[in-house]
Amino acid sequence: MNLLRKFIPSAVALAAGLAASACVFGQTPSFPSRPIKLIVPYPTGGGTDITARAIVKPLSDALGQTVFIENKPGATGMIGAQNVVSSPADGYSVLFGAASEMAMNASLFKKMSYNPRTDLQPVALVATFPLVFVTAASNTSSFEKILDRARQNPGAVAYGSIGYGSPQHLAGELLQMESNAVLTHVPYKGSGPLIQDALAGHVELAISSLPPAVALVKAGQLRALATTAQKRSNVLPRVPTMIDLGFSHYDLSTWVGMAVPAGTPKPVVARLSEGLAKALGDKEFREVLLAQGAEPEGSTPEQFRDFIAREIAKSERIVSQARIQLD
């Protein structure tokens, strides 16, 4: 009996150890065994939310479990990101987030409740979204003439973004750095009021994501001057990139990707990444991305980590040179 008492704890410990080892080496394909929650750190109806809702079905099919969305907007994406960071590192709470909370905020804010570099484990890059410089259709000046006026009369030309610290704001600061023009930044509370003021000519340049602007450009109400990615947009193929216009170092896009809390087991991260790769092959999902002017991507967790590191370095350079600092 004493021998049995000694043996039972040892056997339990051995079984637990074997189970843990199997999990580490991916020998137990038990993940996922219950529904997975995608945390979207923005309101419903926005670009990130639209993309997340489009991926739910193909991702559920690929993983063999229900995937559902929970919107947790606020604080430039940081509320949703913090919610994921604070969740168990088991793969069942996944951040479906954007450039701000995974990269840009790290260089913008003195104090954050989490560290994007260490508290999040990247899973995969989903898609990249170029931005677009637009002006009212009634404004017939070329982009170069607008910039020339901003060089000759510093501050005379205003550009609008969706807010301080947004990718659009950084795109405007990068424009000034690359063109030696001095523009006045006008922050708006979202794309709606920004686009309305651009249509009315109240702000000469607006830097917008593609979805709110494309239909108005095609209808002739807005004029697209340039896009910000390395290659031309599939929905605005006639609009030059900034590189086409001679700004050889200009490359700034927003993007969406998936991440989980740091410490999530590698087999779980790999399973999520594999599921996303399959979902990206879904025809309907790709059509949703392409209709938004997005570029479907996909990556390994390691590739996404390297991508985020480059994005943080890029935003740090812009923020430092532009002397932007948010509380």
The answer to the question of residue 29 being in a domain is: no
| Pair 121, 269 in one domain | yes
What is the rounded average pLDDT of the residues 175-200? Answer: 92
How do residues 166-186 score in pLDDT, each as one tens digit?
899 999 999 999 999 999 999
The pLDDT of residue 142: 94
| Pair 82, 117 in one domain | yes
Name the token pair of 43. 């309101």
Q: Give the gyration radius of the chain's Cα atoms.
A: 23
Q: How many domains does the chain have?
A: 2
Domain that residue 261 falls in: 36-129+253-322
The answer to the question of residue 307 being in a domain is: yes
The answer to the question of residue 11 being in a domain is: no
**Neighbour-count burial of 145, counting CB atoms closer than 10 A to its CB (0-12 exposed, 13-18 middle, 19+ buried):** exposed
**Rounded CA separation 312/297 (Å):** 19
| Pair 118, 160 in one domain | no
| Pair 110, 59 in one domain | yes
pTM, full prediction = 0.83
Closest CA to 272 of 86, 94, 27: 94
| Pair 200, 289 in one domain | no
CA–chain centroid gap for 189, Å, is: 18
| Pair 219, 288 in one domain | no
**Rounded CA separation 90/190 (Å):** 34
What is the rounded average pLDDT of the residues 232-249? Answer: 94
| Pair 119, 263 in one domain | yes
- For residue 99, give the CATH number of its domain: 3.40.190.150
- For residue 194, give the CATH number of its domain: 3.40.190.10
Q: Annotate 8-46 with b (16+ C-beta within 10 A) or e (fewer).
A: eeeeeeeeeeeeeeebeeeeeeebbeeebbbbbbbeeeb
Q: Domain boundary residue among 212, 227, 242?
A: 227
* Segment among 11-25, 35-49, 162-176, 245-259 with least mean pLDDT: 11-25
DSSP state of 103: I
Sign (positive or negative) of CA dihedral 150, 156, 159, 163:
positive
| Pair 75, 97 in one domain | yes
